[in-house]
Amino acid sequence: MNIALLSQVVEALPDPVAVFDAQLRLVTLNSAFVEENKRYLAITFKAGDSLLRLCDAAPHVRGEALEHWQRALSGERFTLVVPFGDPPLHYKISYSPLYNGDDTVHVMMIIRNVQQETEARRNERFFRSVLENLPVGLQEFTPDGWHRNMNTAQRHILGEDHPANNGPYNVFEDGFNRRTGLTALLDEVKQRKGPVKKEMLLRYSEIHDENVTRIQPLYYDVTGFPVLDLQGEIAYLFIILSEITEKKLAVLSLEKSERLLYTIVEHLPVGYIQFDNFGFIRRVNQTQRRFFASTGLEEQPDSNLIQDPFARLFELDQLFMQVLQKGKMIRLEKKLEFQVHNNGGKTDREVFLDLTMFPVEDPVDKDQIVVALVNDITEKKRQELENVKTHEFLLQTGEIGKIGGWEVDMTTRQMRWGAQTYKIHELPPFTHMTYEKSLSFFTEESRNRVELAVTACMQRGKAFDLQITVNTARNNVLQCRIIGKPEYRNGRMVRIYGVIQDVTEQYKIRNQLTRNAELMRLFFDTIDMGYAVMDKDGKVNFINRKAQEIVDHGKVIGRNIFEVFPTLVGSTFHARVQQCMMLQAPVSFSNYLPATDKWYEFLLAPMQDGNISIFTRNITDSKKMQRELRKANEQLSSLNKYLVNQNKQLEDFAHITSHNLRAPIANLKALMQIMNDTDGEQEKELYRGMFQEVIKNIDETLNDLIEVVQIRKDLNVERERLVFSERLQKVRDILFVDIETSGIELITDFSEAPYIEYPRIYLDSILQNLLTNAIKYRATDRKPSLKLQSRMVDGGVMLTAEDNGMGIDMERYGAKLFGFRKTFHKNKDAKGIGLFITKSQIEAMGGSIHAESQPGAGTKFIITFSPE
Amino acid sequence: MKPLRSIFIVDDDPIHQQITEIMLDRLRVTNDVKKFSDAQDVLDHIRLHIAEPASLPDIILLDLNMPVMDGWEFLEAFSAVRGTLPKPVKVYVLTSSIDERDRQRVGMFDFVEGYLTKPLTNDIILSLAR
């Protein structure tokens, strides 16, 4: 064996290597071997040294080492890990026998320090067991979400039947995770490459409680985190689940009770202000906000009681300090006066507060806080003051109202009077008084009545209220009202007591009033006009004879008019009464009362005392007169219209004669002249022909005129019931040839108004003219059509005739459309008479005709027959 | 010898046209008479020959009542083109109407030379020719 070559090979190896022979002498060794032993065993080896030096340095491995060396020298190749030293270092030692021919001579020992690997492996085992036994769930995924591992706790959380326990499972593909938010959490982890923590409700647990099974939500803190490889890419994804249900439920329940408390505080009917220990307002409830919004005690971050001038003005700062320092509750009433801004103005407001302030220790941060309960007792206070006033007023009333008290003791027959009673009787106060003596002040008539009443009261307990005449001690005569009532004790009458009131003034006034009312009644009864007074609700307080006659219904005074006559509710009368009340101004109107078939004129006048005066007058006669007058007026106006129409017709005729008769006559005159001026027989013959032409012309014009005149004159031409479809058929028969030649299509709809009362000749003529017009003025580029339709409009028949003919420029010719001998087309047949006659026939019967048209777009004639 | 006048008769009554032409002819007032039964045709003719004095009339005898375009409409339209004509054209209204309102209305058109009522007489025709 070439030792030199071997030495070089050995030296080249990175691990410590030594070659020894059968005598355990080192044949060759590399510097790594030397270094290793030097460092850990403080032995410096060199070639030729015995390996036994190793055993000297570490005697506890001697036996083992000798055994291994012998095995290797016997030709076995093996590797083992040996702990060495204290604390032990682990070495992996490989023995390789080196053969030289058949004899084993050398062994190569390669030593590798595997301490780190050993430790790592042990650590891994350790951590695995730690992780496995962690009380929190731990689960490992590939970056794609494939499940790799989980610990016991996680298995428990997921449950044995979770798919991750039974085959491949991808956390991203599980829909459940999307709902819980786990998917989103892991996505975030992947995106951020860092840990993400969230609370999740992952499942529910059933809690069996005797016979009740409750479902409880289980909350978890879920932490996801990535494990990155050396390149910084995600190698694994982990999630840690720790159950926080109890904590969560505790938080929820705390929130709930906090909310509840907040709601209670918020809705307390008393104002609630909570200050922190620096005097800052931390909470104000709605009552406080509502009632005291304008006091400046607002829930503002910088609203401090100690600094707030308003709070200081009412010494709230002092109260606060007192409560805080003494730790005691304070309750007091306070009066605040301040100005409220509203609608741009200022109102002085006076508020009484029942203020309770007490300290509370904040249960969490142990701070002292102060709570103020504020009750608005302004109304209560106001009532108290009112009561005091009322009481005072009552005391004064005796004085002003001249009311005095009295009582008769039934056992002693003693009479006691109040101070005012003495005053009324004009006696000095405390004069001794008996029942009998008191009676002596009354006139005889009054005395009798009082005695009877008192007897009745004593015997039957009957209370009394009498008007009596009193002669005072100073001999003044007074009108008094005496009221008495019995009082019982143990079922026995013990006294009669009551008041006496001097009503002389009122009596006088009432007398006066009664007299006035009588006068008024006399006055109102004599006037020829109904007069009544009623209050705003309709109760009749006064009604005179005339009005009584008008209503003609027993006794109405003192009753509500709307109850006596229910039909009046919602009537014109009712509405006007309300109007009068509302406007507080007189209202007049006339109204027809069907019950009496009469018209009445009403004047309602509001009175100062809130009542309404009603004056009413029968105006039936004048109303009837009015109606007749109106009728006469209408007749006059219709006559006028007729005359105007007649005038217009006269004008029409003047025009017609001027234009249409003068023209041919002028021709005749001219012809006569030229005929006279000529001698030529041939010429004369020509003129004679022209004469005939002109005369024929005149004849036609005259015939047309006669026809028209006949129509205009014949106002009483007989009407008969005509069926549109029948009359149209008649006309179609007459115009058969024209209809066929033109190919006009007739569309009819007489369904709504199938017939009309009308002169037959007229209707035939109208229909014939409409149809002739539609044919004559048809458009050449389309199949002509005419639509005839009858309808009922405002009780009369309306006939429309709509063609698709050449139409007419209404702006240009509209005014002449229905004129006599007016034509607008260069049509040889156009004579300009048809529509004139049609118009005459319609107007003669009180109807009207007009047209709607546009050139090229057809014409629509609208005929309104007057209803008869 | 006075120059012969060119006269347009505008009237929808063919008899009247014929009579008027005969009368004008007889009095040798003109040998250039054109007859129109519609004012629109006259207007078209004037517009078409607006630059040819020879084709334009010296006198127009205008009826008032005519279909399509009547004398009134013609007067309105003519008052607009009148100023652009190369020679004076005298317009006479010749109508059977003796209605004073018509006469007054014609008076509103100050270029109308006269309001003549039918029938024409020789005297009137001769006065036109002067």
**Given an 8 Å threshold on Cβ–Cβ distance, is B98 in contact with A662?**
yes
Q: Is residue B39 within 8 Å of residue B78, measured between CB atoms?
A: no
| Backbone conformation region of residue A195, classed left if phi is above 0, alpha if psi is from -120 to 50, else beta | beta
Q: Is A771 exposed, middle or buried (0-12, 13-18, 19+ CB in 10 A)?
A: buried
**Chain segment A532-552, per-residue pLDDT in tens:** 888 888 888 878 887 888 777
Can you tell me whether residue A860 is helix, strand or coil? Answer: strand
Q: What number of helices (H) and strands (E) belong to chain A?
A: 28, 32
- Tell me the mean pLDDT in the region B114-124: 88
Q: What is the DSSP letter of B2?
A: P
**Chain segment A801-811, per-residue pLDDT in tens:** 999 998 888 88
pLDDT at B94 over 70: yes
Query: First vs last Cα of chain A: how many Å apart?
Result: 154
Task: Give me the pLDDT at residue B1, please.
Answer: 40
To the nearest whole number, what is the mean pLDDT of chain A? 81
CA A345 to chain centre: 31
Q: Is residue A455 within 8 Å of residue A484, measured between CB atoms?
A: no
Domain count, chain B: 1
Q: Is A690 within 8 Å of chain B by CB?
A: yes
Residue B29 lies in a domain: yes
- Tell me the mean pLDDT in the region A586-592: 82
Residue with the bigger pLDDT between B76 and A834: it is B76
CA separation, residue B108 to residues A190, A193, A816 (Å): 100, 103, 21
Can you tell me whether residue A337 is helix, strand or coil? Answer: strand
Q: How many beta-carbon pairs below 8 A join chains A and B?
A: 69
- Tell me the mean pLDDT in the region A780-796: 90
Residue with the bigger pLDDT between B98 and A81: it is A81
Task: Quote the tokens at residue A591.
Answer: 């109204």
Q: What residues in B contact A824, CB-CB < 8 Å?
A: 67-68
Task: Give me the pLDDT at residue A299, please.
Answer: 47
Q: What residues in A contact B118, CB-CB < 8 Å?
A: 662-663, 666-667, 670
- Tell me the mean pLDDT in the region A35-41: 82
Q: Which value, in Å, is the radius of gyration of the alpha carbons in chain A?
A: 65
Task: Give me the pLDDT at residue B62, please.
Answer: 94
Rounded CA-CA distance A652/A630 in Å is: 32
Q: Is residue A554 within 8 Å of residue A535, measured between CB atoms?
A: no
Rounded CA-CA distance A639/A369 in Å is: 99
Q: Is residue A147 within 8 Å of residue A177, measured between CB atoms?
A: no
**Chain segment A720-774, per-residue pLDDT in tens:** 899 999 999 988 988 888 898 899 999 999 999 999 988 888 898 899 989 988 9
Rounded CA-CA distance A482/A491 in Å is: 25
Q: Is B13 within 8 Å of chain A by CB?
A: yes
Residue B82 lies in a domain: yes
**Given an 8 Å threshold on Cβ–Cβ distance, is B67 in contact with A830?**
yes
Residue with the bigger pLDDT between A346 and A560: it is A560
**Chain segment B23-58, per-residue pLDDT in tens:** 888 888 888 899 998 889 999 999 999 888 889 999
Q: Is B16 within 8 Å of chain A by CB?
A: yes
Residue B1 lies in a domain: no
**Given an 8 Å threshold on Cβ–Cβ distance, is B119 in contact with A670?**
yes
Task: Give me the pLDDT at residue A393, please.
Answer: 55
Residue B109 lies in a domain: yes
pLDDT at A631 over 90: no
pLDDT at B112 over 90: yes
Q: Is residue A847 within 8 Å of residue A797, measured between CB atoms?
A: no
Q: Is B126 within 8 Å of chain A by CB?
A: no
**Chain segment A103-143, per-residue pLDDT in tens:** 667 888 888 888 888 888 888 888 888 888 878 888 889 99
Q: Is A666 within 8 Å of chain B by CB?
A: yes
Task: Give me the pLDDT at residue A771, please.
Answer: 92
- Which residues, at least 6 apart from A594, have a Cβ–Cβ distance to it below 8 Å? none
**For A13-17, A196-200, A279-283, B89-93, which range has the lowest pLDDT when averaged over its residues?**
A279-283
Residue with the bigger pLDDT between A831 and A67: it is A67
Smallest Cβ–Cβ distance between A658 and the set B20, B26, B97 belongs to: B97
Task: Give me the pLDDT at residue B76, please.
Answer: 92
Q: What is the DSSP letter of A527?
A: S
- Tell me the mean pLDDT in the region A830-859: 83
Task: Quote the tokens at residue A309.
Answer: 């001038």
CA A162 to chain centre: 51
Task: Give me the pLDDT at residue A390, please.
Answer: 62
Can you tell me whether residue B118 is helix, strand or coil? Answer: coil
pLDDT at B92 over 90: yes
CA A824 to chain centre: 65
Beta bridge partners of A239: A139, A224
Residue B70 lies in a domain: yes
Task: Give me the pLDDT at residue A604, please.
Answer: 85
Spatial CA neighbour of B115 closest among A68, B99, A237: B99
Task: Give me the pLDDT at residue A179, please.
Answer: 87
Rounded CA-CA distance A303/A37 in Å is: 81
**Given an 8 Å threshold on Cβ–Cβ distance, is A690 in contact with B18?**
yes
3-state secondary structure A268-280: CCCEEEEECCCCE
**Chain segment A231-290, per-residue pLDDT in tens:** 888 888 989 888 888 888 888 887 888 787 778 877 777 788 888 888 887 778 887 777
Rounded CA-CA distance A28/A109 in Å is: 10
**CATH number, residue B80:** 3.40.50.2300
- Tell me the mean pLDDT in the region A606-610: 77
Model confidence at A4, in pLDDT bands (50, 70, 90)?
Answer: confident
CA separation, residue A224 to residues A137, A183, A774 (Å): 11, 10, 94
**Given an 8 Å threshold on Cβ–Cβ distance, is B118 in contact with A666?**
yes
**Chain segment A460-517, per-residue pLDDT in tens:** 888 888 889 999 989 888 888 888 888 888 888 888 888 888 888 777 776 766 666 6
Q: What angle do CA A153, A157, A161 make, to 5 degrees?
A: 115
Strands of A598-606's sheet in order across: A540-543, A530-534, A612-618, A598-606, A587-593
Rounded CA-CA distance A336/A769 in Å is: 97
**DSSP string of A576-629, one letter each residue:** HHHHHHHHTS-EEEEEEETTTTEEEEEEEEE-TTS-EEEEEEE-HHHHHHHHHH
- Tell me the mean pLDDT in the region A393-417: 73
Q: Which domain holds residue B117?
A: 6-129
Q: What angle do CA A797, A798, A802 make, to 5 degrees?
A: 150
**Given an 8 Å threshold on Cβ–Cβ distance, is B18 in contact with A677?**
no
Which residue type, as a one-letter code, is found at position A103? D
